[in-house]
Amino acid sequence: MTTDPDRRNEAWQQARRRKVARRYPVAPAPPPPEPVKSKRKPPPKQPQPYWRGAKFWFDEWIDEKGEPAPRSQQYTALVEHILQMLQDRGHEPTRRTVERKVKRWRAEYLATLG
């Protein structure tokens, strides 16, 4: 037996830890939770085919009436024209979607001009 008080205290603590570990074994970690599946429909990977027609109408408009300034009446008329053409063919995009497309097409058009 050891007479050193610090070593006795260490031995007692180690024995106590072993006793507690035997009495209360550590349970294995629970498995990770299943990932939550989103209820939202993912966006289509390819653009819908009717956007090619809408791009054609955009190009026609630009050739006939010139490039519209953003937030002008002509720009709004262009968005309305494309929206109406799509709705006439049975497609129902939102106005915001058409505005985004027109904004992108306008930027591409300006990039081609230099």
Quick: pLDDT tens for 34-61.
Answer: 888 878 887 777 888 899 999 999 999 9
Q: Which of 7-11, 14-18, 28-32, 107-111 has the highest mean pLDDT?
A: 107-111
Is residue 108 in a domain? yes
2 pLDDT more than 60: no
pTM above 0.85, yes or no: no
Q: Is residue 109 in some structural domain?
A: yes
Q: Which positions ≥6 away from 66 have C-beta within 8 Å?
A: 74
Q: What are 54-97's pLDDT values in tens digits?
A: 999 999 999 999 888 888 999 999 999 999 999 999 999 999 99
Report if residue 27 sits inside a domain.
Answer: no
Which of 60, 48, 59 has its CA nearest to residue 86?
A: 48
Q: What type of residue sits at position 85?
A: M
Domain containing 76 equals 50-113
∠ CA 41-76-105, nearest 5°, is 60
**What is the model's pLDDT at position 1?**
52
Is residue 104 assigned to a domain? yes
Alpha-carbon distance values, 82 to 16, 30, 109 (Å)? 79, 55, 17
Q: What is the pLDDT of residue 52?
A: 92
Number of domains in the chain: 1
Torsion sign (Cα): 77, 84, 59, 61: negative
For residue 41, tell me if it sits in a domain. no
In a domain, 21, yes or no: no
Q: Nearest 5°: CA angle at 73, between 61 and 68? A: 40
| Domain contains 35 | no
What is residue 3's predicted lDDT score, i.e. its pLDDT? 62
Q: Is the pLDDT of residue 7 over 90?
A: no
Residue 25 belongs to a domain: no
